[in-house]
Amino acid sequence: MKLYDMTIKQASDALQNKQISAVELTKGLLNRIEDKEQSVSTLNTVCADFALKEAEASDKRRAANTQKSMFDGIPAIIKDNICTKGIKTSCSSKILENFVPPYNAHVVERFANQGIITLGKANLDEFAMGSSTENSAFGATSNPWDLSRVPGGSSGGSAAAVSASFAPLALGSDTGGSIRQPASYCGVVGLKPTYGAVSRYGLVAFASSLDQIGPITRSVEDAAFALNAICGHDKRDTTSMDVEYPDYTQGISDGVKGMKIGLPKEYFADGLDTEVKDALSAAVKALESQGAIVEETTLPTFEYALTAYYIISSAEATSNLSRYDGVKYGYRASDFDGITDLYTQTRNQGFGDEVKRRMMLGNYVLSSGYYDAYYMKALKVRTLIKQDFDALFEKYDCIISPSAPAPAFKAGEKSDPMQMYLTDIYTVPVNIAGLTAISVPCAMSNLGLPIGIQLIAKPMGEPTMLKAAYALEQASPPMGQPTFKGGA
């Protein structure tokens, strides 16, 4: 097996058994990046010198039998909206193009404390606003399975990097599906943890009540290992839950016999691709064959989720992005007349079209005369969606659905923002209700594109969800390797 093809578990075992060194593993991944990165453009920053220095330190710890954890020496890629001390964190935006944080995000601290090596920073849709990673100020990322297609978004750089074997682990952020949808497009596993299970300290905010950091990996077992690495209470994040967190790898292979899984009929709405529908049906049969009970059910508020999401997220984004004004840090316009013009020119030049679009929408729904009509109504719909899910989880252990309505689409195909927003239709309800969900690659389309299936569980329901995801993964055909075909 090539070094760059190893999973987290395989690499950890090889390091522990002295079959490879952390330096060898890191060099193998850096060589892979050098070979393939130009074709996919997944990374804004490659931390080669930093990573090799950390790998050397890891090897010394293992030689002295003082390794920090089973992850010591495992390289990982960090989405470029998660703060890394001394390493640029740009959010793929001109306005933060040269911003170097003076501190690490909580998840990066946890990585460092466990010996996990930061290999690079992944491209994303600017400020995590998008579903295709075409909205980056530094250029679009391509899908390794077909370079003419998008990797999804906003964590498209992270998902494409894992798919391309640049690292066995990447961190993304998920505000409305931004881990799960690109994981589906790229044929990898993407997990959105329960809101509050992973600290948001150091995550550059998009929509604070929806954002959640999570792992992208090559296997469900790796996702469980990664979740162990990042979950935990952080007093700097007031939404961080101070609870006992389990070992998410325990019992993962126990099976699904007797598990009750709901399949809302609303998920078969118009717009669902035939091949995705067939993949969902095959996934249901695979779980049933292993003893799970899958029943059709209903989620009455499903049709309102997308509208509520874009109102709430845009309103919160408007507030969060008001700090980028050319005064404190980040990009500053060079030609302006007075403080008001400084704000105007800086934000006009520093933000891209999609960010401006959402800020305009956010300001509109928060403005006098429209606040009650739109924003307050969206919050009420949010409550109803959560109540619907609460009712479902009284009957079911998990919910199953598509991860996305169709496989990865062609770059530039969805220039209409509304078409782009509809790609999030199956993922946004999870964030609105603060649930946990995972996308597992389960099938390939006739064009050789991955198709992911989503499993959803109640808050802190990751152990049950991971069992179902593992069972589904074991019953699914192998994905194979990306082809890096196509392109302009």
Active site residue 178: yes
HSE toward the beta carbon, residue 444, CA cutoff 13 A: 12
CA distance 295 to 451: 22
Strand-pairing partners, residue 450, are 444
Residue of 200, 208, 207, 151 lying closest to 180 (CA atoms): 151
Q: Are 136 and 124 in contact (CB under 8 A)?
A: yes
Question: Among the options 41, 58, 136, 154, which is catalytic?
Answer: 154
Residue of 359, 279, 337, 275 lying closest to 95 (CA atoms): 359
What is the predicted pLDDT for the residue at 459?
Answer: 98
Active site residue 467: no
DSSP letter assigned to residue 72 = T
Q: Give the residue extent of every domain in the chain.
A: 3-259+398-475, 302-381
What is the predicted pLDDT for the residue at 488?
Answer: 56
Q: What is the CA radius of gyration of the chain?
A: 21
Active site residue 386: no
**How many degrees, rounded to 5, is the angle at CA 466 between CA 461 and CA 471?**
140
Question: Among the options 36, 79, 458, 467, which is catalytic?
Answer: 79
Residue 391: Cβ within 10 Å count: 14
138, amino acid identity:
F
175, amino acid identity:
T
Q: Are 117 and 78 in contact (CB under 8 A)?
A: no
Q: Which strand (E) or helix (H) includes residue 264?
A: strand 260-264
CA distance 194 to 213: 10
Question: Among the options 178, 184, 439, 476, which is catalytic?
Answer: 178
**How many degrees, rounded to 5, is the angle at CA 449 between CA 445 and CA 452?**
80
Model confidence, pTM: 0.97
Return per-residue pLDDT of the chain as tens, 488 residues: 899 999 999 999 999 999 999 999 999 999 999 999 999 999 999 999 999 999 999 999 999 999 999 999 999 999 999 999 999 999 999 999 999 999 999 999 999 999 999 999 999 999 999 999 999 999 999 999 999 999 999 999 999 999 999 999 999 999 999 999 999 999 999 999 999 999 999 999 999 999 999 999 999 999 999 999 999 999 999 999 999 999 999 999 999 999 999 999 999 877 899 999 999 999 999 999 999 999 999 999 999 999 999 999 999 999 999 999 999 889 999 999 999 999 999 999 999 999 999 999 999 999 998 999 999 999 999 999 999 999 999 999 999 999 999 999 999 999 888 899 999 999 999 999 999 999 999 999 999 999 999 999 999 999 999 999 999 999 999 888 999 998 65
At the topology level of CATH, where does 3-259+398-475 sit? Answer: Amidase signature (AS) enzymes (3.90.1300)
CA distance 79 to 175: 13
Residue keyed to tokens 């980040």:
330
How many residues in total does the chain contain? Answer: 488
Residue keyed to tokens 């059709």:
296
